[in-house]
Structure 1
Amino acid sequence: MQGNYMVTQSNNLIEARHLKPLTAREQKIVLTMVSMIQPTDKDFMDYRISIREFHELLGLSGREHYTEIKEIAKELMSKSIEIPKDDGGWILANWISSADYIKGEGVIALSFSPKLLPYLLQLKNAFTSYRLSNILSLKSTYSIRLYELMKKWQHLGYWECPVESLREKLGATTKTYSLYGNFKHRVLSFAINEINEKTDLHITIKELKKGRKVDKIEFSIQHFKEKEIRLPEKPKKELQAPSINEIRERLNGSTKSYKFDKAYFADIYATALTVWQEQAEYELSLLVKYVNNDSTVSNPLGFIRAKLKLALQQHVSGDKISFNELQKGSRSTGRQEVIPNWFHERNTSKEETVATVVTEEYQEKKRALLESLGKSPEEIEEEMNG
């Protein structure tokens, strides 16, 4: 599979309403399939993606889990769109009609719905093309959809769209985004920033109002050919910063009777980064070591979260905090444990709740970590507000 393959779709398909929106991962699978279509093809084929490539497109780590991939394929097959027709009518169709796992070859063969044939094959006019590699680094499904729409209008350098229509085209139709402020901040601005940073396009917008309400968005589109993305070489492993999953797995290797799941760890690691920056993993390892050696801690995960929230409070107040100060003596030798006063400023019983000190820096770090885990904007908002 080559990231430099071209994705070519009819403009009507680009303009389709996403009734049950694809996630960013699902978008990448579908667009990878589109990029496999040849200009001379007269019918759809089964588009074969190896389990390894499928795994990479989904951003999954570790060994391939076939049950998980099966569930993802089933979910992908349920996603539908409404395509406008030139005569004013419309077509409702699913993206994928079948998924066939070929065990002996380690391949999944995916088939497009036959209804999509006139929108993907033998296109002579009114179509849009772009390199697959330009969207592979985008993390938000809204960024990918907006990029496609901008590519359609790139030749004019301008596009105007009613806000409600834009919501439907991007698939941002949940109640959360019915307020324009939420839609602008969490969908539109995020997508524009990601496109400007990671692709060959640069977008600016102007809000057109009807009375006091924003009625339409006017897009200005610039194309920078020199920013066309061509599958960059992967940096050498020794130069790569460890991912949050690698750090979580390392710490899970030293825990006892409990493990950090992804959402929990994104929360505590955001706190640790805010307080200790590059020393975050080291300080967490010290706290884990302390918990391992203290038999009075009945709820390790609750204890760790409480102590990190307390450390954040101390950090916000200007104090320098380090779990390196925890010097727990051996009970067998009778040595008294030396623990800093701040560590005992809160009772860690189950009945007490420790107030969360939320800083902008902490919120930004947590949001970035959740994005790195492949969470959708909706899932991120739920985690941020949970």
Structure 2
Amino acid sequence: MSVQHPIFFQDGQTDWAQLVQPQIVKSLQALAQPASILAWRSHSLRSNFFWLAQAEAAGLPALPLRFELERELGVLGDWQWVQEIDDQVWVVSASQLAPALQNCAYLNLSSGTSASRTIAFPGWGHLRSNAIACAEFFRWDSSDLYWCTFPFYAHAHELFSKPRYLGAPILALQATEIETINQHLQDPDIRLHILTTPHIASAFLARHLAPRHPHQVCFELAGEYVAIGVVNRLRDQGFRTCISWGSAETTGVAIAVMEPRVAGCIGTPLPGYQLGTLTFQQEMNLHLEGEAIPPFLANDGQLRETLGRFTAKDLVVWDGNQLMFRGRSDRFLKFHGTYIDVALVEGWAKQVESVDNAFLALVEHAAQTQLVLFVQCVESKEWDGIRHHLAHEMLNQYGGIRLAVQIAPQLAHTPTGKLIRDPHLQLKHLES
């Protein structure tokens, strides 16, 4: 892997080789064992890249974390401190994960929204295959810039593996640093490849990026839900757009529409899911390879836990059009004595192409509790039809149970583009 590709920070430019500190690398190598991991609490982008570079040079898997180390490292199961390297930077050991850590580049944690958190161990070969798939789809060359708006602790592997395998400079910038991004786009020969969420792409970047021509910008969309309506609207604006598979978090793209119109679900899932039968693979037109950790099997729509080094509790559903990953903690909502299938009800809304996202929740008021489906749809002329469609499906499935529907052009999202599934925060957002 080349180490000469530049990294552009807000305060200047460097490259991978300049980040590596031989003395730190030497001390890390002295601590390296088959189960060693370099873990640190994510801070500035420059600091994160610095420690990522030291981990790679020392041959240690990297594990940037969002919160305090003690809080986050519980996902590893049994683990031990080895040595503190710097403030909030440690070498730790997890002996039971030693087989999974062989040739592991980076430990990728889920966001924690599932009933139990999941973890994947992408190796260099997997990252390289995803990079090649990405390059082939977008016809990259060495002048293309690469930018990722996801948090570093969730997608560090994207921030260094793809651009370096593809020979592309990295823009290590926050999603809000649009002026700097636009300065790069003033060169008509520059193309910018952006890994981002559908919400940030459509609601923010598409409005504020100022390329000489939209084809300079390539959106690679990943996240908990990627709607075909968002893909098509971005393409209608002239942006090159596809749904990324291999870039998604450990729990995968929660619902990725695999219709031919998308024509660009690139890459393979991170090792973490081994998805079932030949029919399943043929229908999805995906090549799934490598050992799955945890070794899940999809069988008749139900995810079965098998004996393995690591387990998690998710549901996988494939209905011929949509692939769904859901944590068991929110598979069903109990309402008036009836268990409501969350994925089913949300799926009724997501069948509508103009619907960008939806989530089901119980909203407690002083006098009553409501079952509410929050729907994001920019086409207000379709709102009445969506409500009628939902009422019809609800009547057929659950009889007289009333579903309240809140539709808005934009639902509330986190700064990193993740849908906020707190109904009270959404109601406050809709009232503002």
> By the TM > 0.5 criterion, same fold?
no
Structure-1-length-normalised TM-score: 0.29
Structure number with the higher helix fraction is 1
